[in-house]
Amino acid sequence: MSYTDSLQDTLQALQFEEDGVRALQNNGDAVTYGIITAIIAGLATAIGTLNPLGIITNPISYLIGLAIGSGITHLFAKLFGGQGSYRDIFAVMSNATLAYWVAVIPVLGWFLSILVGLYMIAFSVYAIMTVYDLSVVKSILVLILPGILVAIVIGALLFLFVGSLVGSLGLGLLSAA
Q: Write the pLDDT tens digit of every residue in 49-62.
A: 888 999 999 999 99
The residue with greater pLDDT, 177 or 14, is 14
Task: With cut-offs at 50, 70 and 90, classify the pLDDT of residue 170.
Answer: low
Q: 5-9, 78-82, 105-109, 113-117: which has the minimum mean pLDDT?
A: 105-109
Counted residue by residue, the chain has a size of 177
List of long-range contacts for 2-11, beta carbons under 8 Å, 24+ apart: 3/29, 3/33, 3/36, 6/30, 6/33, 6/37, 6/95, 7/33, 7/37, 7/98, 9/95, 10/37, 10/95, 10/96, 10/98, 11/98
The model carries a pTM of 0.84
Average pLDDT over residues 8-24: 95
Give the pLDDT of residue 167. 76
Give the pLDDT of residue 175. 56
In this model, does residue 176 exceed pLDDT 70?
Answer: no
Q: Write the pLDDT tens digit of every residue in 64-107.
A: 999 999 999 999 999 999 999 999 999 999 999 999 888 888 87
Average pLDDT over residues 162-172: 74
Q: Between the CA atoms of 83, 86, 91 and 93, what dihedral angle is there, to the nearest 10 degrees?
A: 90
